[in-house]
Amino acid sequence: MINSLYPNFQRWSAWGSVWIYGDPHFGDKDMQKYFGYPSDEEQVKNIRKVVGRNDTLIILGDVGDLKWIDQIRGYKVLLKGNHDTGKNKELRYLFEEVYDGPLFIGERILLSHEPIDVPFALNIHGHTHHRPRIGLNEFNAAADAIDFKPVNLGKLIKDGALANIPSLHRITIDNASQNKKEREHES
Let me know if domain 7-186 sits in CATH 3.60.21.10.
yes
Residue-wise pLDDT for 5-38, tens only, equals 999 999 999 999 999 999 999 999 999 998 899 9
Strands 122-125 and 138-140 turn out to be parallel
- The SS3 assignment for 92 reads helix
- The SS3 assignment for 149 reads coil
Distance CA 59, CA 62 (A): 8
Residue-wise pLDDT for 81-134, tens only, equals 998 887 788 899 999 999 999 999 999 999 999 999 888 899 999 998 777 655
pTM metric for this prediction: 0.88
Domain layout of the chain by residue ranges? 7-186
- The SS3 assignment for 173 reads helix
